[in-house]
Amino acid sequence: MTRRLEVADLVVRHKTRKGTVHAVAGVSFEIGAGQTLGLVGESGCGKSSLARAIVGLNKPTSGNLAINGTAVDPRRPSSRARDMQMIFQDPYGSLNPRLTVRELVEEPLKVHRLRSRAERREWVKALLDRVGIPETMHDRLPHQLSGGQRQRVGIARALALEPKIIICDEPVSALDVSVQAQVLNLLVDLQREQDLSYLFISHDLEVIRYVSHWIAVMYLGVIVEIGPVDRIWKSPLHPYTRALMQTTDNREMQAGPEVKLNSELPNPLSPPSGCRFRTRCPLAIERCAQEEPQLREEAAGHKVACHRAQEWASRVSAAA
Partner 1 sequence: MAGIKNAQAPRPLLDVHNLSVAVKLASKARAYAVDKVSFSVGVGETLALVGESGAGKSLTAMALMRLHKAQTMDVEADRIDLLGRDIARMNDREIRSIRGSTVAMIFQDPLSALNPVLTVERQLVESIVLHNDMSRSQARKRALELLDMVRIPAAGSRLSEYSHRLSGGMRQRVMIAMALAGNPKLILADEPTTALDVTISAQILDLLKELQRDLGVGMLFITHDLHAVRTVAHRVAVMYSGRIVETGDVSKVFNDPSHPYTEGLLAARPHGSFVGAAHRLREIPGTVPAPADRPAGCAFAPRCNRRTAECEVRPPPLEYVGPAGFACYHPLQEVPA
CA 151 – CA 31 distance, rounded (Å): 24
Say if residues 81 and 165 touch (Cβ distance below 8 Å).
no
The answer to the question of residue 148 lying near partner 1 (CB under 8 A) is yes
Scanning residues 20 to 59, which ones bind partner 1 (CB under 8 A)? 42-43
Handedness of CA 135, 139, 141, 144 (dihedral sign): negative
Q: Nearest approach, Cβ of 271 to partner 1 (angstroms)?
A: 16
CA 228 – CA 214 distance, rounded (Å): 4
Say if residues 209 and 233 touch (Cβ distance below 8 Å).
yes
Give whichever of 215 and 304 is closer to partner 1, judged by the CB atom.
215
Give whichever of 11 and 188 is closer to partner 1, judged by the CB atom.
188
The answer to the question of residue 188 lying near partner 1 (CB under 8 A) is yes
The answer to the question of residue 136 lying near partner 1 (CB under 8 A) is no
Q: Where are the alpha helices (DSSP H) in the chain?
A: 47-55, 91-94, 101-111, 117-131, 147-159, 177-194, 205-211, 229-234, 239-245, 286-290, 309-319
Give whichever of 55 and 133 is closer to partner 1, judged by the CB atom.
133
Handedness of CA 156, 158, 159, 165 (dihedral sign): negative
Total chain residues near partner 1 (CB under 8 A): 38
Taking contact as CB under 8 A, which single stretch among the options 22-30, 67-75, 262-270, 310-318 is the one that binds partner 1?
A: 262-270
The single residue among 95, 243, 275, 316 that binds partner 1, judged by CB under 8 A, is 243
The answer to the question of residue 262 lying near partner 1 (CB under 8 A) is yes
CA 166 – CA 151 distance, rounded (Å): 14
Taking contact as CB under 8 A, which single stretch among the options 15-23, 99-107, 117-125, 202-210 is the one that binds partner 1?
A: 202-210
Q: Nearest approach, Cβ of 168 to partner 1 (angstroms)?
A: 14
Look up residue 233 and give its amino acid: W
Say if residues 302 and 313 touch (Cβ distance below 8 Å).
no
The single residue among 16, 144, 248, 310 that binds partner 1, judged by CB under 8 A, is 248
The single residue among 49, 58, 197, 212 that binds partner 1, judged by CB under 8 A, is 212
Say if residues 29 and 226 touch (Cβ distance below 8 Å).
yes
Q: Is 248 strand, coil or helix? A: coil
The single residue among 229, 275, 284, 313 that binds partner 1, judged by CB under 8 A, is 229
Say if residues 14 and 192 touch (Cβ distance below 8 Å).
no
The answer to the question of residue 116 lying near partner 1 (CB under 8 A) is no
The single residue among 133, 211, 224, 306 that binds partner 1, judged by CB under 8 A, is 211
Q: Which residues bind partner 1 (CB under 8 A)?
A: 42-43, 146, 148, 176-182, 184-185, 188, 203-207, 209-213, 229-230, 233, 243-244, 246-249, 261-265
